[in-house]
A and B are shown apart, each in its own frame.
Chain A
């Protein structure tokens, strides 16, 4: 089975790749979009004073 990998997906913020699997006829058998990183804002925003969050969460995406 042939696999086409697009890594990384470009012109965006964040990291991801796409794996496309082709069957013997060369048609797409399945395709997977995979997010390849995690920063964990959900975790490290906990415990921060609420008035500070407007200065932390803009760094989720700066584009």
Chain B
């Protein structure tokens, strides 16, 4: 059987997804059994010209990780789509925008202002910011354009398959190899397949759930959670009810509440809204009749950073997904 040609391209990323692929450890041998890596700049010396050199459909599976933020990322994404038979969106950034997608909380100009002027270690009295074209002495230099917003891959190109997580945990990554074997045999999974569970994280979480009401929100540094008991019931915001399962709950097993890097389940459009709904149905519910409007406001004030908590990984695909600047 012919080996698959697999390309791994990237956008705005920490490259933790590249490391996640390498972290297959000895199972990477199973990967190279079915696939030849024909493009992977993080791990090998490939240039964008190498990706450009492929003909349409030359690549069997194009894997893309990272948020789409610059003109280069857009070019890479379109190129990968055109050259690949199937495109797999790998990790939270490509799927939902991820943590770099939190850039959508500010306008580009506000980001430039902070990064290139206001930060304590910056000395830049003329407020010089990156330009797409600049002349330095007699030399013409160019940079990619930084876009006004970070985007999920599927909002830029047509995507066939998804593998969520930040980074995808080992039990998810290992599922990739049998799927590639199917593709090698000409058996493509249905378009839109998400390589993860279809249920919520709470469905697979082993913590004991008993109370349907919590009396207040507790911040993570304010308590040492009791092992074995649902973290949300202990007052910690845990994104489990609004998050897709399949990761194996490594954070929760370490008593660290979920932040939702697997994104929502298929039937949920907006992960943050789902979580707000989940919190609203348990916070202060048992004593609800005795609470004044002021008490309720105080309870809600216990949530210190709603947007950064509920939309930690999914802001660019949320219903309200970016700050629009005042001209």
Q: Which of A12, A59, A60 has the most chain B CB atoms inside 10 A of its CB?
A: A59
The interface residues of chain A lying within 8 Å CB-to-CB of B119 are: 42
Q: Which of B36-44, B190-198, B279-287 is near enough to bind chain A?
A: B36-44
The interface residues of chain B lying within 8 Å CB-to-CB of A1 are: 138
For the complex, give the distance between the alpha carbons of A29 and B113 in Å.
33
For the complex, give the distance between the alpha carbons of A10 and B43 in Å.
7
The interface residues of chain B lying within 8 Å CB-to-CB of A14 are: 15
The interface residues of chain A lying within 8 Å CB-to-CB of B73 are: 37
Residue total for B at the interface (Cβ-Cβ under 8 A): 53
For the complex, give the distance between the alpha carbons of A30 and B221 in Å.
51
A59 contacts B111, CB within 8 Å?
Answer: no
A38 contacts B15, CB within 8 Å?
Answer: no
Cβ-closest chain B residue relative to A50: B221
A-B CB pair tally, cutoff 8 Å: 124
Residue-by-residue, is A27-56 near B (CB-CB < 8 Å gives 1, otherwise 0)? 001101010111110111011110110011
Q: Which of B42, B98, B167, B256 contacts A11 (CB 8 A)?
A: B42
Q: Which of A10, A37, A60 contacts B144 (CB 8 A)?
A: A37
A44 contacts B45, CB within 8 Å?
Answer: no
B141 contacts A34, CB within 8 Å?
Answer: yes
Residue-by-residue, is B15-55 near A (CB-CB < 8 Å gives 1, otherwise 0)? 11111000000000000000000000111111110000000
Cβ-closest chain A residue relative to B76: A8
Q: A12-B42, A32-B136, A52-B309 are in contact. Are A39 and B219 (CB under 8 A)?
A: no
Q: Which of B41, B106, B309 contacts A43 (CB 8 A)?
A: B106
B100 within 8 A of A: yes
Which residues of B in the span 63-119 have a Cβ within 8 Å of any Cβ on A? 69-70, 72-73, 98-100, 102-103, 105-106, 110-111, 114-115, 119
Q: Which of A36, A39, A56 has the most chain B CB atoms inside 10 A of its CB?
A: A39
Q: A37-B70, A39-B69, A62-B16 are in contact. Are A49 and B47 (CB under 8 A)?
A: no
Cβ-closest chain B residue relative to A31: B139
Binding site for B on A (CB under 8 A): 1, 6-8, 10-15, 19, 21, 29-30, 32, 34, 36-40, 42-44, 46-49, 51-52, 55-56, 58-63
7 additional contacts, CB 8 Å, given A10-B42, A52-B309, A59-B166?
A32-B139, A36-B70, A38-B115, A39-B12, A39-B103, A55-B256, A63-B15
